[in-house]
Amino acid sequence: MILDGKTLKQKILDENKKIINDNNYKIKLAIILVGNNEASKIYIRNKELACNYVGIEVDKYLLDEETKEEYLIELINKLNSDNKITGIILQSPVPSQIDFNKCSGLINAKKDVDGFTKENIYNLYLGVDTILPCTVKGIIKLLEEYKIKISGENVVIVGRGNIVGHPLSLAMLNKDATVTIAHSKTNNLKDITKKADILISATGIPHLIKEDMIKENATIIDVGVAKIDGKIVGDVDFLNVSKKAKYITPNPGGVGPMTVAMIIDNLIFMYERGIKNG
Ligand code: NAP
Protein backbone atom coordinates (compact mmCIF):
# COMPACT_ATOMS: atom_id res chain seq x y z
CA MET A 1 0.00 0.00 0.00
CA ILE A 2 1.21 3.45 -0.90
CA LEU A 3 1.69 5.99 1.91
CA ASP A 4 0.34 8.97 0.04
CA GLY A 5 2.03 12.08 1.45
CA LYS A 6 0.63 14.33 -1.25
CA THR A 7 -3.00 13.63 -0.40
CA LEU A 8 -2.36 13.80 3.34
CA LYS A 9 -0.57 17.14 2.90
CA GLN A 10 -3.67 18.56 1.19
CA LYS A 11 -5.89 17.26 4.00
CA ILE A 12 -3.62 18.85 6.64
CA LEU A 13 -3.48 22.14 4.74
CA ASP A 14 -7.29 22.24 4.49
CA GLU A 15 -7.67 21.54 8.21
CA ASN A 16 -5.12 24.19 9.08
CA LYS A 17 -6.64 26.75 6.70
CA LYS A 18 -9.91 26.35 8.58
CA ILE A 19 -8.22 26.75 11.98
CA ILE A 20 -6.46 29.94 10.85
CA ASN A 21 -9.59 31.34 9.27
CA ASP A 22 -12.02 30.43 12.08
CA ASN A 23 -9.74 31.89 14.74
CA ASN A 24 -8.52 34.86 12.71
CA TYR A 25 -4.90 33.96 13.42
CA LYS A 26 -2.32 36.47 12.15
CA ILE A 27 0.65 34.22 11.47
CA LYS A 28 3.75 35.46 9.68
CA LEU A 29 6.74 33.42 8.51
CA ALA A 30 10.14 34.89 7.66
CA ILE A 31 12.23 32.86 5.22
CA ILE A 32 15.90 33.69 4.73
CA LEU A 33 17.74 32.42 1.67
CA VAL A 34 21.41 33.22 1.25
CA GLY A 35 22.75 32.73 -2.27
CA ASN A 36 21.46 31.22 -5.48
CA ASN A 37 20.98 27.53 -4.79
CA GLU A 38 18.37 26.47 -7.36
CA ALA A 39 16.96 23.59 -5.29
CA SER A 40 16.58 25.94 -2.30
CA LYS A 41 14.58 28.34 -4.46
CA ILE A 42 12.16 25.53 -5.32
CA TYR A 43 11.90 24.47 -1.67
CA ILE A 44 11.08 27.98 -0.47
CA ARG A 45 8.59 28.44 -3.30
CA ASN A 46 6.76 25.29 -2.10
CA LYS A 47 6.79 26.58 1.49
CA GLU A 48 5.47 29.95 0.35
CA LEU A 49 2.68 28.38 -1.73
CA ALA A 50 1.54 26.29 1.24
CA CYS A 51 1.55 29.37 3.49
CA ASN A 52 -0.40 31.41 0.94
CA TYR A 53 -2.96 28.62 0.67
CA VAL A 54 -3.71 28.48 4.39
CA GLY A 55 -3.52 32.23 4.98
CA ILE A 56 -0.06 32.65 6.50
CA GLU A 57 1.87 35.74 5.46
CA VAL A 58 5.44 35.23 4.22
CA ASP A 59 8.32 37.72 4.31
CA LYS A 60 11.23 36.56 2.15
CA TYR A 61 14.78 37.77 2.67
CA LEU A 62 16.82 36.88 -0.41
CA LEU A 63 20.43 37.67 0.41
CA ASP A 64 23.44 37.78 -1.94
CA GLU A 65 25.81 34.84 -2.26
CA GLU A 66 28.53 37.08 -0.72
CA THR A 67 26.48 38.07 2.36
CA LYS A 68 28.66 38.36 5.46
CA GLU A 69 27.81 36.30 8.52
CA GLU A 70 27.53 39.45 10.68
CA TYR A 71 24.80 40.79 8.39
CA LEU A 72 22.83 37.54 8.61
CA ILE A 73 23.15 37.50 12.41
CA GLU A 74 21.89 41.07 12.58
CA LEU A 75 18.87 40.11 10.46
CA ILE A 76 18.10 37.07 12.62
CA ASN A 77 18.28 39.22 15.77
CA LYS A 78 15.94 41.76 14.20
CA LEU A 79 13.41 39.07 13.26
CA ASN A 80 13.73 37.49 16.72
CA SER A 81 12.58 40.71 18.35
CA ASP A 82 9.83 41.49 15.82
CA ASN A 83 6.52 40.61 17.52
CA LYS A 84 4.74 40.24 14.18
CA ILE A 85 6.99 37.36 13.12
CA THR A 86 5.75 33.95 14.33
CA GLY A 87 8.46 31.80 12.81
CA ILE A 88 11.82 32.00 11.04
CA ILE A 89 13.40 29.61 8.54
CA LEU A 90 17.03 29.87 7.52
CA GLN A 91 17.14 27.79 4.33
CA SER A 92 20.08 25.41 4.03
CA PRO A 93 22.58 25.12 2.48
CA VAL A 94 24.29 28.47 2.98
CA PRO A 95 27.50 29.69 1.29
CA SER A 96 30.80 28.65 2.89
CA GLN A 97 31.50 31.99 4.67
CA ILE A 98 28.43 31.31 6.84
CA ASP A 99 28.27 28.75 9.65
CA PHE A 100 24.77 27.27 9.28
CA ASN A 101 24.67 25.59 12.70
CA LYS A 102 25.81 28.75 14.46
CA CYS A 103 23.35 31.02 12.64
CA SER A 104 20.31 28.73 12.75
CA GLY A 105 21.11 28.24 16.45
CA LEU A 106 20.63 31.98 16.99
CA ILE A 107 16.98 31.82 15.99
CA ASN A 108 14.76 32.33 19.03
CA ALA A 109 13.68 28.79 20.03
CA LYS A 110 10.06 29.92 20.11
CA LYS A 111 10.31 30.98 16.45
CA ASP A 112 12.34 27.97 15.34
CA VAL A 113 10.02 26.43 12.70
CA ASP A 114 12.60 23.78 11.76
CA GLY A 115 13.23 22.67 15.35
CA PHE A 116 17.02 22.92 14.99
CA THR A 117 17.90 25.13 17.97
CA LYS A 118 19.62 23.68 21.04
CA GLU A 119 16.55 24.22 23.22
CA ASN A 120 14.21 22.36 20.87
CA ILE A 121 16.66 19.52 20.25
CA TYR A 122 17.24 19.23 24.03
CA ASN A 123 13.46 19.07 24.55
CA LEU A 124 13.32 16.31 21.94
CA TYR A 125 16.07 14.51 23.84
CA LEU A 126 14.06 14.91 27.07
CA GLY A 127 10.92 13.71 25.30
CA VAL A 128 8.85 16.76 26.21
CA ASP A 129 6.33 18.45 23.91
CA THR A 130 8.39 20.61 21.57
CA ILE A 131 8.81 21.94 18.04
CA LEU A 132 9.89 18.88 16.04
CA PRO A 133 11.97 19.13 12.85
CA CYS A 134 9.41 19.17 10.01
CA THR A 135 10.59 16.04 8.18
CA VAL A 136 10.66 14.07 11.43
CA LYS A 137 7.16 15.22 12.37
CA GLY A 138 5.92 14.55 8.83
CA ILE A 139 7.14 10.93 8.91
CA ILE A 140 5.43 10.32 12.25
CA LYS A 141 2.17 11.89 11.02
CA LEU A 142 2.26 9.72 7.90
CA LEU A 143 2.73 6.54 9.96
CA GLU A 144 -0.01 7.57 12.37
CA GLU A 145 -2.45 8.45 9.58
CA TYR A 146 -2.12 4.91 8.20
CA LYS A 147 -2.31 3.47 11.75
CA ILE A 148 1.10 1.85 11.48
CA LYS A 149 2.25 0.69 14.90
CA ILE A 150 5.46 2.29 16.14
CA SER A 151 5.58 1.29 19.80
CA GLY A 152 7.68 -1.83 20.31
CA GLU A 153 8.56 -2.16 16.61
CA ASN A 154 12.06 -2.50 15.21
CA VAL A 155 12.70 0.81 13.50
CA VAL A 156 15.89 1.00 11.46
CA ILE A 157 17.00 4.45 10.32
CA VAL A 158 19.68 4.59 7.62
CA GLY A 159 21.45 7.96 7.90
CA ARG A 160 22.46 9.93 11.00
CA GLY A 161 22.29 13.46 9.57
CA ASN A 162 21.33 16.36 11.84
CA ILE A 163 18.24 17.24 9.82
CA VAL A 164 16.62 13.81 9.52
CA GLY A 165 18.29 10.64 10.82
CA HIS A 166 19.60 11.82 14.18
CA PRO A 167 16.52 13.72 15.44
CA LEU A 168 14.25 11.03 13.98
CA SER A 169 16.00 8.39 16.10
CA LEU A 170 15.12 10.38 19.25
CA ALA A 171 11.53 10.95 18.14
CA MET A 172 11.10 7.22 17.41
CA LEU A 173 12.57 6.34 20.79
CA ASN A 174 10.05 8.72 22.38
CA LYS A 175 7.35 6.74 20.55
CA ASP A 176 8.68 3.55 22.22
CA ALA A 177 10.19 2.03 19.09
CA THR A 178 13.31 -0.12 19.31
CA VAL A 179 15.66 2.01 17.27
CA THR A 180 18.76 1.09 15.26
CA ILE A 181 20.71 3.78 13.39
CA ALA A 182 22.89 2.79 10.44
CA HIS A 183 25.28 5.01 8.50
CA SER A 184 28.09 4.92 5.96
CA LYS A 185 30.44 3.05 8.32
CA THR A 186 27.89 0.39 9.28
CA ASN A 187 29.04 -3.18 8.69
CA ASN A 188 26.65 -5.55 6.91
CA LEU A 189 23.88 -3.01 6.34
CA LYS A 190 21.62 -5.66 4.83
CA ASP A 191 21.65 -7.78 8.01
CA ILE A 192 20.39 -4.75 9.92
CA THR A 193 17.80 -3.46 7.45
CA LYS A 194 16.30 -6.95 7.12
CA LYS A 195 15.30 -6.82 10.79
CA ALA A 196 13.27 -3.63 10.35
CA ASP A 197 9.52 -3.56 10.81
CA ILE A 198 9.82 0.07 9.76
CA LEU A 199 12.81 1.01 7.59
CA ILE A 200 13.49 4.71 7.08
CA SER A 201 16.24 5.68 4.69
CA ALA A 202 17.63 9.23 4.74
CA THR A 203 20.96 9.16 2.92
CA GLY A 204 20.58 10.70 -0.54
CA ILE A 205 22.22 7.63 -2.09
CA PRO A 206 20.05 6.63 -5.07
CA HIS A 207 18.48 3.15 -4.76
CA LEU A 208 20.61 2.17 -1.77
CA ILE A 209 17.75 0.05 -0.42
CA LYS A 210 17.10 -3.02 -2.56
CA GLU A 211 14.44 -5.73 -2.37
CA ASP A 212 16.78 -8.27 -0.74
CA MET A 213 17.52 -5.80 2.10
CA ILE A 214 14.01 -5.69 3.50
CA LYS A 215 11.80 -7.98 5.51
CA GLU A 216 8.57 -9.27 3.95
CA ASN A 217 5.65 -6.90 4.79
CA ALA A 218 7.90 -4.18 6.22
CA THR A 219 7.00 -0.47 6.12
CA ILE A 220 9.45 1.51 3.98
CA ILE A 221 9.91 5.27 4.25
CA ASP A 222 12.09 6.89 1.60
CA VAL A 223 13.41 10.31 2.68
CA GLY A 224 16.43 10.66 0.37
CA VAL A 225 16.47 13.07 -2.52
CA ALA A 226 19.00 12.78 -5.34
CA LYS A 227 18.84 13.79 -8.98
CA ILE A 228 19.75 11.57 -11.92
CA ASP A 229 19.36 13.08 -15.41
CA GLY A 230 17.18 15.84 -13.93
CA LYS A 231 14.80 13.32 -12.32
CA ILE A 232 14.29 12.97 -8.56
CA VAL A 233 15.46 9.59 -7.31
CA GLY A 234 15.03 8.32 -3.78
CA ASP A 235 17.06 6.00 -1.56
CA VAL A 236 14.72 3.09 -2.29
CA ASP A 237 14.50 0.94 -5.41
CA PHE A 238 10.74 1.49 -5.41
CA LEU A 239 9.83 -0.77 -8.33
CA ASN A 240 11.21 -3.91 -6.70
CA VAL A 241 10.95 -3.04 -3.01
CA SER A 242 7.23 -2.17 -3.34
CA LYS A 243 6.50 -5.79 -4.32
CA LYS A 244 7.69 -7.02 -0.94
CA ALA A 245 6.77 -4.16 1.40
CA LYS A 246 3.39 -3.82 3.09
CA TYR A 247 3.51 -0.02 3.11
CA ILE A 248 5.85 2.22 1.12
CA THR A 249 6.21 5.93 0.38
CA PRO A 250 6.52 7.03 -3.23
CA ASN A 251 9.35 9.44 -3.90
CA PRO A 252 8.47 12.12 -4.87
CA GLY A 253 5.02 12.30 -3.28
CA GLY A 254 5.73 10.78 0.14
CA VAL A 255 7.89 12.47 2.74
CA GLY A 256 8.55 15.71 0.79
CA PRO A 257 4.94 17.01 0.86
CA MET A 258 4.66 16.01 4.54
CA THR A 259 7.70 18.16 5.37
CA VAL A 260 5.98 21.19 3.85
CA ALA A 261 2.70 20.44 5.63
CA MET A 262 4.50 20.28 8.97
CA ILE A 263 5.88 23.81 8.53
CA ILE A 264 2.28 25.00 8.69
CA ASP A 265 1.56 22.66 11.61
CA ASN A 266 4.57 23.97 13.53
CA LEU A 267 3.66 27.60 12.85
CA ILE A 268 0.16 27.08 14.25
CA PHE A 269 1.60 25.26 17.27
CA MET A 270 4.00 28.16 17.90
CA TYR A 271 1.33 30.82 17.41
CA GLU A 272 -1.11 29.11 19.79
CA ARG A 273 1.62 28.57 22.36
CA GLY A 274 2.44 32.29 22.06
CA ILE A 275 -1.22 33.18 22.76
CA LYS A 276 -1.34 30.80 25.74
CA ASN A 277 1.86 32.19 27.24
CA GLY A 278 0.91 35.80 26.56
P1 NAP B 1 23.28 14.15 5.56
O2 NAP B 1 23.42 15.01 6.76
O3 NAP B 1 24.22 14.30 4.43
O4 NAP B 1 23.29 12.64 6.05
C5 NAP B 1 23.36 11.57 5.18
C6 NAP B 1 23.54 10.31 5.97
O7 NAP B 1 23.60 9.22 5.08
C8 NAP B 1 24.85 10.29 6.78
O9 NAP B 1 24.60 9.91 8.11
C10 NAP B 1 25.70 9.25 6.06
O11 NAP B 1 26.56 8.51 6.91
C12 NAP B 1 24.63 8.34 5.50
N13 NAP B 1 25.12 7.55 4.37
C14 NAP B 1 25.77 8.00 3.27
N15 NAP B 1 26.07 6.96 2.46
C16 NAP B 1 25.61 5.83 3.07
C17 NAP B 1 25.64 4.46 2.76
N18 NAP B 1 26.21 4.01 1.62
N19 NAP B 1 25.09 3.59 3.61
C20 NAP B 1 24.52 4.02 4.75
N21 NAP B 1 24.45 5.33 5.13
C22 NAP B 1 25.00 6.22 4.28
O23 NAP B 1 21.82 14.32 4.94
P24 NAP B 1 20.44 14.77 5.60
O25 NAP B 1 20.38 16.23 5.68
O26 NAP B 1 20.19 13.96 6.83
O27 NAP B 1 19.44 14.31 4.46
C28 NAP B 1 19.40 13.00 4.03
C29 NAP B 1 18.64 12.89 2.73
O30 NAP B 1 17.30 13.26 2.94
C31 NAP B 1 19.16 13.82 1.62
O32 NAP B 1 19.02 13.17 0.38
C33 NAP B 1 18.21 15.01 1.68
O34 NAP B 1 18.09 15.67 0.45
C35 NAP B 1 16.93 14.30 2.04
N36 NAP B 1 15.94 15.14 2.72
C37 NAP B 1 14.67 15.05 2.28
C38 NAP B 1 13.69 15.78 2.90
C39 NAP B 1 12.29 15.65 2.42
O40 NAP B 1 11.46 16.44 2.84
N41 NAP B 1 12.00 14.69 1.56
C42 NAP B 1 14.00 16.62 3.95
C43 NAP B 1 15.31 16.67 4.41
C44 NAP B 1 16.27 15.92 3.78
P45 NAP B 1 27.81 9.21 7.70
O46 NAP B 1 27.19 9.97 8.82
O47 NAP B 1 28.59 8.05 8.16
O48 NAP B 1 28.49 10.09 6.70
Cross-strand bridge partners of residue 2:
248
Residue nearest to atom 35 of ligand 1 (CA): 224
Specify the pLDDT at position 194. 98
Q: What values do phi and psi take at 25, rounded to 5?
A: -70, 140
Give residue-wise pLDDT tens across range 155-170. Answer: 999 999 999 999 999 9
CATH class entry, domain 134-256:
alpha beta
At residue 275 the predicted structure's pLDDT band, cuts being 50, 70 and 90, is confident
Q: Is the pLDDT of residue 26 over 90?
A: yes
pLDDT tens digits for range 167-226: 999 999 999 999 999 999 999 999 999 999 999 999 999 999 999 999 999 999 999 999
Predicted model pTM: 0.96
Hey, which residues does 58 pair with through a beta bridge? Answer: 29
Q: Could you state, in order of their start, the residue ranges of all structural domains in the chain?
A: 23-110, 134-256
Active site residues: 47, 91, 114
DSSP H or E segment with residue 121: helix 118-126
Protein fold of 23-110: Rossmann fold (3.40.50)
Kindly give, in sequence order, each residue whose CB lies less than 8 Å from that of residue 116, ignoring residues fewer than 6 positions away: 104, 105, 107, 133, 162, 163
Pocket of ligand 1 (CB under 6 A): 135, 158-161, 163-165, 182-186, 189, 202-205, 208, 223-225, 255-256, 259
Run of H or E including 155 = strand 154-158
Report how far ligand 1's centroid is from the alpha carbon of 246 (Å). 24
User: Can you tell me which atom of ligand 1 is nearest the CA of 225?
Assistant: 32
- Ligand 1 atom with the smallest distance to the CA of 166 is 26
Residues whose CB falls within 8 Å of the CB of residue 22, separated by 6 or more in sequence, listed in order: none
